[in-house]
Structure 1
Amino acid sequence: MRLSDLREVREGAPPPRYGVDDVITFGRRMRRRRQTAWAAGVAIAVAAVVAIPQLTGGSEHRQPPVLEQNAPQLLPFETTFTAYAAGRFQVKDPNTVGLGHASADISGCDEVCVLTVLRPGVELPGSLDGKRVATDPISDRPAYFLDTDDGGRVLTWEYADGARAWIQTSPVGPGQKAMTRTEMRQVAEALHVGTFRPMSVGFVVAYAPAGYRLTSAQNGVEVSVLGFEETAVAEARMAAPDRITPKNLRNGHPRVEIAVVRVPSRQAQTHIEVRCEATGTDGPRCQRWLPDARTLIEASGGPADELRRAVEGVTVVDTTVPVNQAVPASAQLTVG
């Protein structure tokens, strides 16, 4: 497993003051990475997406519409830990939830550092490999390091019966100080896994493209994204012990992603009507701006007519909404 793209995320993140083109480009780069990250066997959170947005009032944002009631038991999009400090490091609140994991960024690193916690019963990705290095148990449970072939490092440990977590770091650059094995253990030992809490986003999707199911949610200040995969792919992932896409389904099955992009200042060139365009290797993309000229809604990856309907049905809300309430039940996987 190579972790070099972790560094690209940090170096490619937009600076504190940036324009709409920077944010949109960053969002597209982020989405391209996700398409080849966890689905291909590696869970990597995006360093710049670190907080749940609290959108404030005004006529351009509304309360969430009422969605389907009495829905079947949906696959929950939940987290089991919150932000915490460990020495000079600060683990952020989880910003990414998938079919079997939740991930959070770790600040205080010169490199990019990410904590991933698997749901009980979900196995480590098969591609999480490298030279195994023994270490003492963490909280009396098995643990070991992996040194990757590009200079990154992984610490994985069992935090409960049948449940694992890991910390991974990117290679460091010149003059940077890597997180040491002792420091990685310090962060791991400070993890407290508690009750399940719903992951939330700041928008509601009234329509998801037909034949797709929700498989991921990522929420941040600049970009929030809901990811959908073809039903057969989503169900195959749920059947896999590590929730990774089987090799025979990794090509030719594009993801659909519905995103809300926020920029810090009003933009002069915006359009409130939906516009769709082809983007070459990324496939079709449809967009519309809210009247505030600071919030862009975008859908990509599927048929243009389906993406248009999805964009038209997005409502950006004044508060956050649990992911399972933000998406129609018909576009979600069920359990039990």
Structure 2
Amino acid sequence: MITRFTISKIIALVVGLLCLLIAFNYNTKNSFSINGSAYGTSWSVTSSEFIADHHHKNIIKIINNIDMVASNYKSDSEVSVINDNAVTTEFVISDHLYKILTIAKEVHNQSDGLYDITLGKLSSKMGFSPNFNDDLFHTSNNKFLLQNPNKLTKSTKDWFDLSSIAKGYSVQLIHEYLLENNLNNHLIDIGGEVIINGSIHGKPWKVGIQDPSSFIDKPIYVINNLDNKFLSIATSGEYRNFKILDDGKKITHTINPKTLSSISSKVSSVTVVHQSSATYADAYATAFNVMGETKAINFANENDIAVMLTFTNEEGTNLKFSKKWYDLKL
């Protein structure tokens, strides 16, 4: 005999199964996203899998940790303390700073000095970063020594400026954290430094590259990872980060280490796509921006790097690609 209690149990079971079915259908049609602000810009993480609160908190912790390592805007950050200390002082630095400086040194050497993270005083003098009322005289480029384990010695009073690599490093750390926690399908974006991994409900992720000639958000090119599970994407350009001086001269935030002045280039923006590291993508994008068209394409082809250069003139916008860009079927 079926009792009211049995019927209520069956109804509860059916309702429970329906709720599970609705939740399943919802999750397969929607993505989950968290976002915030850091490093003077915005960040977001999007996934087809649910991002639990503890993951959200841990991602914020990663972002804040790197801010306290690499920020020139915080007087108590690790790099600011080093910038403020005497020359020839040997520092024992964090694992994060050691890794950042190691990659920066590698790209500096590889690019024949056209990528340089020791131009912080010049950047401050031009008004693109804080100066803390200090002497802004720049003496020499890239004069620092790294030794294992985690030892750093500066040879000059020049300042580190890690703005061209720190966001990419943070993106890479978040990517690695998500993989460790089985959140394999994700898109991470910190101020335009991006990683796409896996898929969004079985379809490739898509990332639009901003048209430098447009004052609204308008993609000039869309990258997807249909043929590549993982891609890191970094874009560097002067089209929104410049100043006009009283005499009408335009200065940009990217400095040529050879001339110690703002770059002047026909290239409006540079987009690098890397197959393993957002840190390298971030650094290479700045290096290519300094190089200009011919050197950038030649360097990219010689070193098997995917790069897209954007040119804007009166006739419109044109694009130029390295060989690796075509190899990746971007």
> What TM-score, normalized by structure 1, do the two folds share?
0.26
Pick the structure with more strand per residue: 1
- Pick the structure with greater CA Rg: 2
Higher relative contact order (CA 8 A, sep 6+): 1
